[in-house]
Amino acid sequence: MSAGPDQNRSTRAGERTVSTERERIGFIGVGLMGHGMAKNIVEKGYPLTVMGHRNRKPVEDLLGRGAREAKSAREVGEASDIVFLCVTGSREVEGLVRGPDGLAAGLKSGSVIVDCSTSDPNSTLALAAELEPHGITYVDAPLSRTPKEAWEGMLDTMVGASPEVFARLKPVLDAWAGRVIHIGGTGDGHRMKLLNNFIAMGYAALFSEALALAQKVGITPERFDSVIRGGRMDCGFYQTFMKWTLEGDREAHKFTLNNAFKDMRYLESMADAAGLANPMGNAVKNAYAVPVATGKGEDYVPMLSTHVAALNGVELKRKV
């Protein structure tokens, strides 16, 4: 970890003694969600450094808006006070934080890493403990909603941080989130995110099986929808989910089956660590295991309905 005097930062992790300058922000993971988040950060006037991405389009867009590019995680750390991570999961996060070219090697004491990925809370707590002796604070701020809201600066985030660090982060979080909830200490954000995704992915599994059974007994998706939509079982997730089945809109909910399966494995790990039997969680996990195992993992979650129907020998009939 690099060190040196900095008159604008205290040596206590996550705190600042003077706020005469805007925080320097780093961002790694400018994919479907991260691109919009980073766009809003730089447009709100924060100095922004992003790490190169295999998809050059979002990187070039951000550079055109005033961001600068770093070639490694270490370079991002050297240029930043607060670094946001928005990657697939804990394995990727750990690879970015650790090692000679990792974030921790470049960050100064007093810096903060904010993991916006959906990660394993056990990994989150391990990284926080590992970084604390170096004066680096590790917090979690996973996301809810879709890339559309990311672009609009209207994501939801649930933040695990101390009150002092949360107060420091809040202005930057407000740049890309419309709803910022301080859920507790480090690790609680990721715990709550897994619970949130358990409910969401559970809905998707239920909707998929119900649609397949409906079709099997002669009730079309349109007739099914005419009862659910506007009734007590309706919700925003249902409406987004059904855009694929009813309209063929694959862009409505761009969250892959691979990611859903990964999150349900993390939920299982959390339940195991807590000593909780979670038969419902395992059933939901297995609903995603099948399409993932058959090579459909890059399909989006609403397309689970098509896979469940096919397994049962039916096709969900869509009006043309």
Residue numbers annotated as active site: 193
Residue 97: CB atoms within 10 A of its CB come to 25
For the range 48-54, what are the long-range contacts, defined as Cβ-Cβ under 8 Å and sequence gap of 24 or more? 49/24, 49/25, 49/75, 49/76, 49/79, 49/80, 50/26, 50/76, 51/26, 51/27, 51/75, 51/76, 53/29
Round to whole Å and give the CA distance between 318 and 246. 6
Q: Which of helix, strand or coil describes residue 198? A: helix
Question: CA 116, 119, 125, 127 torsion: positive or negative?
Answer: negative
Maximum C-alpha span of the chain: 72
Closest CA relative to residue 66, chosen from 25, 21, 108, 28: 25
